Structure 1
Amino acid sequence: MRITAIRGVHVSIPLSVPYKLSRVYGTVSSADAVVVRLTTDTGLVGYGEADPHHPFTADTVEGTIQAIRDRLGPALIGSDPREIKRLEREMDDVLDGHLMAKGAIDMALFDLAGKSYGVPVHALLGGKLRERVLLSFPLGSGTAEEDMEVIEARTALGFRSFMAKMGRNPIPDEIKRVHKLSERYAGKVHLVADANQGWSEAEAVEFTAGVEGTFLELLEQPVPAGEHEALQRIRAKSTVPISADESVITAGDALQLVARGAVDAYSVKASKNGGLTKAHRIVSIIEAAQLECRMNSMLEFGVTQAALLHLGAVTQRLIPSGHAYMSTLRMSADFTDFPKRLRDGYAYVSDAPGLGVSIDDGVLATHARSSFEVT
């Protein structure tokens, strides 16, 4: 089996409701993706997705398209898509960085390999450990009263885990917010907080001290990505476990953080970390250190979410407080059938060959901004 063509489509789809994040990221109202389709000489096709959202990542839509169209795509034509590790090395040799472009291709390779062998992607990663994963629903950066409206609506639909975005409001306000939520929901739902790099070290220490004794289970990325020593000091002073997200992009980042003892948990994303091959490597490092993983997302559509669900299915050390497989629920439309896997507050793992998602070409065409093809 050989790759004969690579097609990419840039799509942009509005969110159902604008998403208020930290002061670093502001408010987001739409999501962009580059959807990749690999075609083979057998007629099988595989799909991948890149989710470059500046300023969430250094990758941009334009840079991702150029990387696939001009460098990575031409290097892969004629290759056997089942040789995933070899093609990972070839992509790294051809081009430095551009993890999201490489990640989209890597997802498509896994999709093709699974379809070729007639097995789900989780079987290629070692076999699933669970049939479903607990969902965590996001709460935009706002007030406890706004949070309660979302929590009441979503718990009625089966959700039991929530992630509160922070890093936008004054620390005393965020502390009061957590206390109000704790008074009402402790013992009923899970809560994690994500500051998205929005705080200084002093603010993070003030926050963790202020929420001690509440039901908050995890604080994610309180300070800028490169401040590993600050994360280590915050963790040493905090009774709330600390998680890294933007600080862990590569396996090298994970090794550095583990060596420092900087955090308790790591946020893993299929697109951010460069696809399943690289993300799985990061998970292996985390598990070897006897730490925990949080399967997380940015603003993603169903292909990336499906890839991440297969990774979550095979990961031994998952945090108990929920995982971010709800990204498609924030969109006004999705070009896959992944949302059907979400019900009763869980994401259910597919056993269909490959990633287990179908593509709606009509929705894809409706929201397409541009496209390209490599042959």
Structure 2
Amino acid sequence: MSRTKRGAWRGISAAAQDPSKPRLTTSAMIASLAGADQRTSPAPFGRALVELGKTRPEILGLTADLAKYTDLHVFAQAYPDRFYQMGMAEQNLMLTAAGLAHEGFIPFVTTYAAFASRRTFDFISQGIAEEGLPVKICCALPGLTTGYGPSHQATEDIAIFRGMPDLVIVDPCDALDIEQAVPAIAAHDGPVYMRLLRGQVPMVLDEYDYTFELGKAKLLRDGADALVISSGFMTMRALETAKLLAADKVEVAVLHVPTIKPLDQEAILREAGRTGRMVVVAENHTEIGGLGEAVATLLLRESVIPPRFRQIALPDAFLDAGALPTLHDRYGISAEAMVRSIKVWL
């Protein structure tokens, strides 16, 4: 039995041991992040790219055999003459995109985050970033958004890419964030790495008068007891956590940071510098080298020292395979686990 299958069996069995919880099947390894009653929007990345393509003929779509699983198939159906299926050859995918960018096109490249960060780093660095080319690398399965084990869980992708000069890094929260980020990153004159949520993507931020701006963080709600600085779907979890803690009269503010690099230093310093609040950074990424360390470094460098600083992040380890709800609770990134952690720290 493969490592992935062993891990999947182990994770599902762990959930099934609790009789108060429904038995999880292997479909939970690739389940949507949306809750049972949560609003969703289908394929926001693909639909946003189609809309952008109506007025931007230089927009192209390229993928490494993963159009269906990155929602790029929506663009391929709308513009078949502007879509390139490169097969399972990720290095070739990146350098082909670089060549097309040299000719004046804006390629949107999709694959899984694990493959882009681990398999093609040097090709992106030398062929795209060093040349300053407007290639947009948009990758599904970031962090712990799949239960298929370490081969597909890109828990360290931000750490890998943060060190690459001139590469913008975007980690959107929900469908609205993705839809608004697509034209914004297309307008950026340079390379971008964006993490993707795919399929039926939760819709959350429309309730908070939110608009995506490249390089800008947004305070979604205020609170006097703790400040959660978050990115990606962990902002959704942070908002859930804040609502749950409000029932216990704990006031939690949430600062959404969709752009990891460049970091919105002004917003982070302003909110973290307010007197008396614990600062918690929540991210769907290993505790090493991601948003948490970026924020900690910024606060230390600028002598902004909150009463407490904590991280909610994935461990520095190869994670188990299994059902996503089980894994998120096990590794502390479910809303319920966040509530438990913040109560202890307070």
TM-score by length of 1: 0.27
| Structure of greater relative contact order (alpha carbons < 8 Å, 6+ residues apart) | 1
